[in-house]
């Protein structure tokens, strides 16, 4: 390679390697009203399975794959996250509204608070769906979850049909749920 | 050789830039403090919250929110006292216009006082500490972070202006 070109090419290569960003500046598309997220399952990919302790579950755990057949909204949140507090009552409403059609919302608490504190907080927010105690390993496979809230909508076979990063309006969340519930997803809906 | 030098510099800058991009809060280098035995001297820690972000004040309005806190682990010969945080600014954000939060944004100056312990000696000491904060923007909140800080304190004798410096003593680093 021409010595004059070697340095610029190497610098460009290193920029992409270090920043993780393409040179065009384009970011992951994701939902129209959501921020981009780095890493984690893309839409159309199978959601990574996990088993996590259920808050107030008397020691029981829940495995994500056990929910196949339902549309799942996996909502990562934390007690210190103000935007998360805003959407939790919305999620409770949506669980009530769409639960009979096969929606199961699952909260995953991503903070160091005690189980008792998480439970108390969730009750205060009117949560009517299971809340799991998150772990770093689960965070890693879901893209690091650097910013919260983050939600993944999974179709009835566990494939990610939408991901929502940051606080968006309730209607955006509802639309994502309805899209999966009506079978406008990647799989045949289980009845 | 010249190319290697240029490339090395740029690599360092690129890595620094990538690290900086994740720093929602930075802290200025802390000026060294000189204090005479029997008196006290101020120290100031200046944080910079990056544009578009805010952090909770030292006294957030709800117990779940994580306050900004600076902890010090001074050597035995020093006391760090009277840590004074600025008052938080009451602001509401697009995610909940009806609720006000007590937050810091922009430049945040935290003041404290360095006091040599009566039984301590003279010399130069290094005080370690850490800033704990939790940042949010208008849509998302980010996990609590701990940022190490350090500054030097020169303790001189009460009677003389100069001092014979002892070997530097440091406080233990904080590991979490």
Cα dihedral sign for A80, A86, A89, A91?
Answer: negative
A 46-75 near B (Cβ less than 8 A) = none
Domains of chain A, each with CATH number or no CATH: 23-189 (3.40.30.10)
Q: What is the pLDDT of residue A16?
A: 40
Confidence of residue B44 (pLDDT cuts 50, 70, 90): very high
Chain B contact for A80 (CB, 8 A cutoff) = yes
How many contacts, defined by CB atoms under 8 Å, are there between A and B?
77
Q: Which residue of B has its CA nearest to A15?
A: B14
* Weakest mean pLDDT among A5-9, A125-129, B155-159: A5-9
With cut-offs at 50, 70 and 90, classify the pLDDT of residue B11: very low
What is the nearest CA distance from A120 to chain B, expressed in angstroms?
A: 11
Residue B134 has pLDDT above 80, yes or no: yes
Q: How many CA atoms lie within 13 A of B69 on its CB side?
A: 11
- Chain B residues close to A80, C-beta within 8 Å: 64-66, 134, 141, 144
Q: What pLDDT, on a 0 to 100 scale, did the predictor assign at position B101?
A: 94
pLDDT at A79: 96
A86 interfacial to chain B (CB closer than 8 Å)? yes
Q: Are A79 and A117 in contact (CB under 8 A)?
A: yes
Output the CA–CA distances (angstroms, integers) from residue B79 to A116, B118, B126, B132, B149, in the order listed: 37, 10, 12, 20, 16
Q: What is the mean pLDDT of residues A158-166?
A: 95
For residues A45-63, average pLDDT:
95
Among B6, B14, B101, beta carbon nearest to A7: B6
- What pLDDT, on a 0 to 100 scale, did the predictor assign at position A162? 95
Q: Would you call B16 an interface residue with chain A, using a CB distance cutoff of 8 Å? A: no
User: What is the pTM (predicted TM-score) of this model?
Assistant: 0.78
- Backbone dihedral angles phi then psi of residue B172, each to the nearest 5 degrees: -65, 145
Q: What is the CA radius of gyration of chain A?
A: 19
Structure confidence at residue B171 (pLDDT): 63
Distance from CA of A114 to the nearest CA of B (A): 12
Do B141 and A148 lie within an 8 Å CB cutoff?
A: yes
A167-176, A180-189, B92-101: least confident range: A180-189
CB B112 within 8 A of CB B73: no
Average confidence score pLDDT of chain A: 82
């Amino acid at each position: 390679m021409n010595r004059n070109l070697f340095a610029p090419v190497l610098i460009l290569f290193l920029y992409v390697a270090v920043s993780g960003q393409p040179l065009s500046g384009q970011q992951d598309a994701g939902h129209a009203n959501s921020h981009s997220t780095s890493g984690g399952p893309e839409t159309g990919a199978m959601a990574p399975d996990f088993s996590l302790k259920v808050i107030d579950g008397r020691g029981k755990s829940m495995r994500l794959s056990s929910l196949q057949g339902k549309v799942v909204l996996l909502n990562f949140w934390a007690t210190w996250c103000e935007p998360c507090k805003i959407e939790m009552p919305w999620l409770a409403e949506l669980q009530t509204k769409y639960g009979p059609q096969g929606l199961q919302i699952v909260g995953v608490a991503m903070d160091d608070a005690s189980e008792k504190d998480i439970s108390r907080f969730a009750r205060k927010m009117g949560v009517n769906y299971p809340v799991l105690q998150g772990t770093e390993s689960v965070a890693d496979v879901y893209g690091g979850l650097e910013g919260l809230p983050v939600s993944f909508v999974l179709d009835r076979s566990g494939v990610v049909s939408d991901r929502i990063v940051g606080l968006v309006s309730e209607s955006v969340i509802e639309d994502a749920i309805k899209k999966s519930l009506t079978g406008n997803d990647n799989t045949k809906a289980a009845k | 050789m010249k190319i290697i030098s240029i490339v090395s510099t740029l690599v360092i800058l690129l890595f620094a830039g990538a690290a900086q991009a994740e720093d929602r809060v930075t802290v200025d280098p802390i000026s060294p403090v000189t204090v005479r035995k029997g008196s006290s001297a101020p120290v100031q820690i200046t944080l910079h919250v990056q544009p578009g972000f805010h952090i909770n004040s030292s006294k957030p309005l709800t117990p779940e929110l994580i306050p900004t806190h600076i902890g010090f682990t001074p050597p035995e010969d020093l006391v760090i006292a009277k840590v004074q945080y600025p008052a938080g600014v009451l602001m509401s954000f697009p995610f909940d216009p009806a609720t006000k939060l007590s937050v810091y944004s922009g430049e945040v100056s935290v003041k404290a006082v360095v006091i040599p312990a009566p039984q301590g000696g003279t010399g130069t000491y290094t005080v370690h500490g850490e800033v704990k904060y939790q940042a949010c923007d208008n849509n998302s909140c980010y996990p609590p972070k701990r940022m190490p800080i350090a500054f030097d304190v020169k303790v001189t004798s009460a009677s003389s202006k100069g001092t014979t410096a002892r070997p530097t003593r440091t406080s233990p680093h904080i590991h979490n």
